[in-house]
Chain A
Amino acid sequence: MSELLETGMAPAGDFAPARSLWRRIEPAVLGAGSIVVLLLLWELLPQLVTLQAGTKMLFTTPSKIAVTLWNMIVTGKLWAPLSVSGTGFVVGLLLSVLVGLPLGVVLGRSRTLNAMFDPFVTAFNATPRLVFLPLLMLWFGLGVTAKVVIVFIGALFPILINTYEGVRNADRGLINVVRSFGGSEWDVARLVVVPNALPYIVAGLRLAIGRAILGVVVAEFFGAEDGLGVIMVQAASRYQVDVVFAGLIVFAVLSLIMTGLVKLLENRLGGWRPQRTGGE
Chain B
Amino acid sequence: MQPYIQGRNVNLTFRPPNRGPVRALQNFDIDVNEGEFLSIVGPSGCGKSTFLNVILGLIRPDSGDIRLRGSPISGPSTDRAMVFQDFGLLPWRTVQANVELGLELKGMAADARRKVSQPLIEMIGLAGFEGHFPHELSGGMKQRVGLARALATDPSVLLMDEPFAALDAQTRDLMQVELLRVWQQDKKTVLFVTHQIEEAIYLSDRVMVMTKRPGRAKKIFPIDLPRPRDYEMRVTPEFNELKLQIWNELKDEITV
B76 touches A180 (CB 8 A): yes
B84 touches A173 (CB 8 A): yes
- Across the interface, A272 reaches (CB within 8 A) one of B86, B93, B102, namely B93
B5 at the interface (CB under 8 A from A): no
Q: Which of B96-112 contact A (CB under 8 A)?
A: 101-102, 105-106
Whether B105 pairs with A273 at a CB distance below 8 angstroms is no
Per the bound structure, the CA–CA distance linking A190 and B255 in Å amounts to: 43
- Known: A173-B84, A187-B105, A273-B135. Contact between A179 and B90, CB under 8 A? no
Q: In the complex, which residues of chain A have a beta carbon less than 8 angstroms from the beta carbon of B93?
A: 272
A173-B88, A192-B90, A272-B93 given; A178·B135 CB < 8 A? no
Q: B residues within 8 A CB of A179? A: 58, 76
Contact B91 A272 (CB under 8 A): yes
The yes or no answer to B133 lying at the interface (CB within 8 A) is: yes
Whether A183 is near chain B, meaning CB under 8 Å from some CB there, is yes
- The answer to whether B106 touches A180 (Cβ under 8 A) is no
Which secondary structure dominates chain A's binding surface?
helix
Cβ contact of A173, chosen from B77, B78, B86, cutoff 8 A:
B86
Residues from chain B with a CB closer than 8 A to the CB of A273 are 91-92, 135
**A17 close to chain B: CB less than 8 A:** no
Q: Which residues on B sit within 8 Å (CB–CB) of A11?
A: none
Contact B106 A182 (CB under 8 A): yes
**Quick one: which of A176, A178, A271, A272 has the most chain B CB within 10 A?**
A272
What size tier do the contact residues of chain B reach?
Answer: 20 to 34
* Smallest beta-carbon distance A55→chain B, Å: 57
Contact B92 A181 (CB under 8 A): no
Tell whether A180 pairs with B133 under 8 Å between CB atoms, given A174-B88, A174-B90, A273-B91: no
A274 touches B101 (CB 8 A): no
Q: What bracket does the count of chain A residues touching chain B fall in? A: 10 to 19
- CB nearest to B103 among chain A residues: A181
Give the CA-CA distance A179 to B106 in the complex, in Å.
12
Contacting pair B86 A181 (CB below 8 A): no
Residues of B within 8 A of A173 (CB): 84, 86, 88
Q: Does A177 contact B (CB under 8 A)?
A: yes
Is B121 interfacial (CB-CB < 8 Å)? no
Asked if A180 contacts B86 (CB within 8 A), the reply is no
Cβ–Cβ contact B88 & A182, under 8 A = no
Contact with A along B165-181 (1 / 0, CB 8 A): 00000000000000000
Task: List A residues 161-184 near B (Cβ within 8 Å).
Answer: 173-174, 176-183
Q: Is B141's CB within 8 Å of the partner chain A?
A: no
Closest beta carbon of chain A to B139's beta carbon, Å: 14
Is B76 touching A177 in the complex (CB atoms < 8 A)? no
A191 CA / B97 CA spacing, docked (Å): 11
Chain B residue numbers with a CB within 8 Å of A180 are 56-58, 76, 80-82
User: Cβ of A81 < 8 Å from any Cβ of B?
Assistant: no
> Is residue A195 within 8 Å, beta carbon to beta carbon, of the partner chain?
yes
In the complex, the answer to whether A182 meets B101 with C-beta atoms within 8 Å is no
Chain A residues with CB below 8 A from B56, complex form: 180
Contacts of A196 in B (CB 8 A): 92
Contact call A274/B135, Cβ cutoff below 8 A: yes
Cα of A191 to Cα of B100 in the assembled complex, Å:
12
> Is B153's beta carbon under 8 Å from chain A?
yes
Which residues of A lie under 8 Å from residue B133 when comparing CB positions? 271-272
Residues of B contacting A191 with CB < 8 Å? 90, 101
3 closest A-B pairs by beta carbon, nearest first, are: A272-B92, A181-B102, A177-B88
What are 9 A-B pairs at a CB distance below 8 A? Answer: A174-B88, A177-B84, A180-B56, A180-B81, A181-B78, A181-B102, A187-B105, A191-B90, A195-B90
